[in-house]
Amino acid sequence: MAEKEVITRAIQEQNGNLTRVAKQLNIAKSTLYIKLRKYGLQRS
């Protein structure tokens, strides 16, 4: 899934800082948390 890969890459680029990940992806932080749960992702 492309969205999962984009989110995973952004998490790596931002060293797990979810506030910066949300800004980079131009989505609300709450939306990011929903997507993390949906794809079973962890911040690394």
CATH code for the domain of 33: 1.10.10
Give me the domain span that covers residue 33. Answer: 2-39
Report the domain count for the chain. 1
Q: Rounded to a whole number, what is the distance in angstroms from the first to the last CA of the chain?
A: 19
What is the maximum alpha-carbon separation in the chain?
A: 22
pLDDT of residue 41: 93
pLDDT at 44 over 90: no
Q: Kindly indicate the confidence band of residue 1, based on its pLDDT and cuts at 50, 70 and 90.
A: confident
pLDDT per residue over 14-42, tens digit each? 999 999 999 999 999 999 999 999 999 98
User: Does some domain include residue 30?
Assistant: yes
User: Does some domain include residue 10?
Assistant: yes
Token duo for residue 32 = 């990011």
Cβ contact 10:21 at 8 Å: yes
User: Does some domain include residue 44?
Assistant: no
Residue 1 carries which side chain, given as an amino acid letter? M
Please count the CA atoms within 13 angstroms of the CA of 1 that sit on its side-chain side: 9
User: Does some domain include residue 28?
Assistant: yes
